[in-house]
Structure 1
Amino acid sequence: MEQALELGRRPHVVVATPGRLVDHMDSNGDEWSLSRLKFLVLDEADRLLTDTFADDLAKILSKTPKERQTCLFTATWTPAVENLANATPQPGKQKPFVYRMTAGVETVGTLKQHYLLVPSHVREPYLFYALCNPPESIAHMRIAPPELPKPSRKPKKTNRAFRPPKLDESAIKQPPPTIIFVSKPRTAAYLAKLLQTLGIRATALHSRLKQRERLNSLNLFRSRVVAVLISTDVGARGLDIADVALVVNWDLPSAAEEYTHRVGRTARAGRNGMAISFVTERDEEKIHAVETRIGTSLTELSLPEDKVLEGLNAVSTAKRIANMASAFHVRVYYSNICDLQELHDSEFGKREEIHAKKAAKLGK
């Protein structure tokens, strides 16, 4: 309400995320508009010019005058940014101004950076062991989560072929605050389901969630109701969450620059932190690119294989359940702190056709 009132006063400068601005555009009526906009600034343009923000940006651009000046600021030179920088402007439109930050990118000294060399098909038991047995340097950052009250209503009925087991969180000690980065929304949903089945409180954050659901996941993680946040790169920038102890790269980023943004979620304000990157048989070039980018070599992390294998049966069962959830096309998220799971139909992959039109929309 407060933001809507401020927009109604017709401010000269508005700083907003695309999704939030579109929300206000949809609900404001005729109280204000972008028809007299002079400048449109895209900070961290490499991220804004991705599929995640395509629909919102297209709607914003459709409401702005064609003669506006668009300014892009970025430290990462992606094909989308390059195409806009080199494109010939249409008649009546100004050429976009593009500023690329070229200063070196470093990681802080209080961050311990490791890689874990593991075949891609057996990452799950190693992840489970690492979360349950954090190194001493971050183990003290564990926080006992609040007890969940008994459900006040009956859970919704689910398909008989898919019946998740009851969680037994008391069987394990929750890990310190952890963010796990993945490359795809489907993987985020899969890992959230996997960890929940194993008794670890986890929630997902990705572009397929509605704004309300994203905020719900963030609030659960910030308030320590859940210990683990599984996120795509939508959460790699702009999140300032205190006391994140561990960042895990389940998938190495395709762009080395993104690694710095990810691990920057921990070891903030002089605190200690740790980053663990899974390196599979397909990641040799990526890990070398990351090390070149940050100017240092990652240290190999060795986990006791015999201890890891002790949890193999439980992890294998959880994998089958998580894959079953994926096969039934469900999205798992916390509906509230009383009901740990609620299954809803998902539409993973159905928006790609819309995202493919992004470049054409941005050029209008």
Structure 2
Amino acid sequence: MASDELDGEVKTFKSLGLCDQLVEAVAKLDWQNPTPIQVEAIPHALEGKDLIGLAQTGSGKTAAFALPILQALIDSPHAFFACVLAPTRELAIQISEQFEALGYEFGAKSAVLVGGVDMVQQTIMLAKRPHIIVATPGRLMDHVSNTKGFSLRTLKYLVLDEADRLLNEDFEKTLDDILKVIPRERRTYLFSATMTKKVKKLQRACLRNPVKIEVASKYSTVDTLKQQYRFLPSQHKDCYLVYILTEKCQCTTMVFTRTCDATLLLATMLRNLGIRATPISGHMSQSKRLGALNMFKAGECNVLICTDVASRGLDIPSVDMVINYDIPSNSKDYIHRVGRTARAGRSGVAISLVNQYELEWYIQIEKLIGKKLPEFPAQEVEVLQFLERVTEAKRLATSKLKEKGSKKRKGGGNEGEDDVDIGKYLGQKDVKSKKFTKR
């Protein structure tokens, strides 16, 4: 329970001990009052304590570590002051943007080091000696190993955001290497939506007498989130997806799939049906991933088809609905996916489409969140009215993507999968496909 609830007083950013410059900065961002994780974390951080912060996604974790770091930077400014590690490129970019927005008035500079971007450009940024480094682990080690004149010897703060994800097999060894080349005398903040055995192991390895802050139960979803499921035969899953998107056509929606290929196929199919959809996945170049994200944020498309690359940390305030087109095999990923909606006190809807092969995974999700979810109401006869048009739209999408792949192979294979200009052919309309509404 947060301290403002204990003493009956509504906390302000000023009352947490932040300096006037940062109080003014949050006011300019129109942040009214600190969130529970900020209320709990910021005072301890300002006292110089190491932190373990456990909170639901969308709870304001970034500001909970950014504000204390910026206050320390104001008192003692120097280059390479803090490093934040994040599991995805998009999350790293977003964290950097928040640091720069909060530190704009006193000139705080950050640099983003992620894959998919030219290392020479990043080397030029590092030569300008930014205060904050925000990075994915692999690219940070690339620069530590290969960029002349760059080191983390002056580092005062290390932040591990989405720490449970950073400790999977993709990052664990690299993270160990990073911990070997940074100063032992530092402040360390570990933030995560979930506490796992690996997170506990990391806590013992790199934190000193940390303060543990937990403002949510271990695996919980917010009360403002309406969660439903629909059990259906696998051959009708596309029909149910189109039915829901048509019924709720005014909603901004994120649709989660299991594979990168599925994002492209579904987005193309939905475009053939007149639904404004765009894909985002790890197979796309960084510029195209950001382009898709910006289109979605700007309202140019209202359906984002994504893999779990978009389930962590991305702050897209206007998401009304999340659809689990594929049920995640790891039930903890469900928490992160549905956390893309109902953020910062807003309401939201999450609908899971469960076929006969995914039932066991879905049962594990209900066990994890500790509740039985109601079924999404739909008359199958109404849903199957879409069957003929959905089948044709998917056939056209499959044919178009096969043709695109064939042309790319004949062209000598110089163009990587992530360099395919998706927007170019997603925007084309097929003469046989027409925008439609429910009959």
TM-score bracket for this pair, using the shorter chain length:
0.5 to 0.7
Kindly indicate whether the alpha-carbon contact (under 8 Å) linking 1:201 and 1:226 is maintained by their aligned counterparts in 2.
Answer: yes
Superposition map of 1:3-152 within 5 A: 10-15=79-84, 17=86, 19=89, 20-22=112-114, 23=117, 26-27=120-121, 28-29=123-124, 31=127, 32=129, 33-36=150-153, 40-49=158-167, 66=181, 73-76=191-194, 81=198, 85=201, 95=205, 103-134=217-248, 142=250
Change (3 A) 1:270 1:45: closer
Kindly indicate whether the alpha-carbon contact (under 8 Å) linking 1:106 and 1:260 is maintained by their aligned counterparts in 2.
Answer: yes
Structure 2 gap segments, 5+ residues each = 1-72, 90-111, 130-149, 406-416, 430-439
Q: 1:154-187: CA deviations, max 9, x gaps?
A: xxxxxxxxxxxxxxxxxxxxxx100001111111
Kindly indicate whether the alpha-carbon contact (under 8 Å) linking 2:194 and 2:219 is maintained by their aligned counterparts in 1.
Answer: no
- Out of 251-260 and 33-42, give the one that drifted further: 33-42
Change (3 A) 1:211 1:48: farther
Superposition map of 1:168-317 within 5 A: 176-317=251-392
Structure 1 gap segments, 5+ residues each = 1-5, 87-93, 143-175, 343-364
Q: 1:273-307: CA deviations, max 9, x gaps?
A: 21110111122221121112212111112322222
Q: 1:86-107: CA deviations, max 9, x gaps?
A: 9xxxxxxx95569997942322
How far apart, CA to CA, are the structure 1 residues paired with 2:291 and 2:182? 38
- SS of residue paired to 1:240: coil
- SS of residue paired to 2:82: coil
Offset, 1:245: 1.4
Kindly indicate whether the alpha-carbon contact (under 8 Å) linking 1:34 and 1:63 is maintained by their aligned counterparts in 2.
Answer: no
Kindly indicate whether the alpha-carbon contact (under 8 Å) linking 1:259 and 1:290 is maintained by their aligned counterparts in 2.
Answer: yes
Structure 2 residue identity aligned to 1:124: D
How far apart, CA to CA, are the structure 2 residues paired with 1:289 and 1:16? 30
How far apart, CA to CA, are the structure 2 residues paired with 1:198 and 1:96? 52
How far apart, CA to CA, are the structure 1 residues paired with 2:372 and 2:421? 37
How far apart, CA to CA, are the structure 1 residues paired with 2:171 and 2:236? 34
Q: 1:52-86: CA deviations, max 9, x gaps?
A: x769x95x98788546669865454679x48x949
- CA RMSD in angstroms, aligned pairs only: 3.7
Change (3 A) 1:197 1:48: farther
How far apart, CA to CA, are the structure 1 residues paired with 2:154 and 2:372? 47
- SS of residue paired to 2:383: helix
Tell me the residue number matched to 2:94: none
How far apart, CA to CA, are the structure 2 residues paired with 1:63 and 1:297? 42
- SS of residue paired to 1:299: coil
Give the structure with the larger helix fraction.
2
Kindly indicate whether the alpha-carbon contact (under 8 Å) linking 1:206 and 1:214 is maintained by their aligned counterparts in 2.
Answer: yes
* Higher RCO by CA contacts (8 Å cutoff, separation 6 or greater): 1
Change (3 A) 1:73 1:316: same
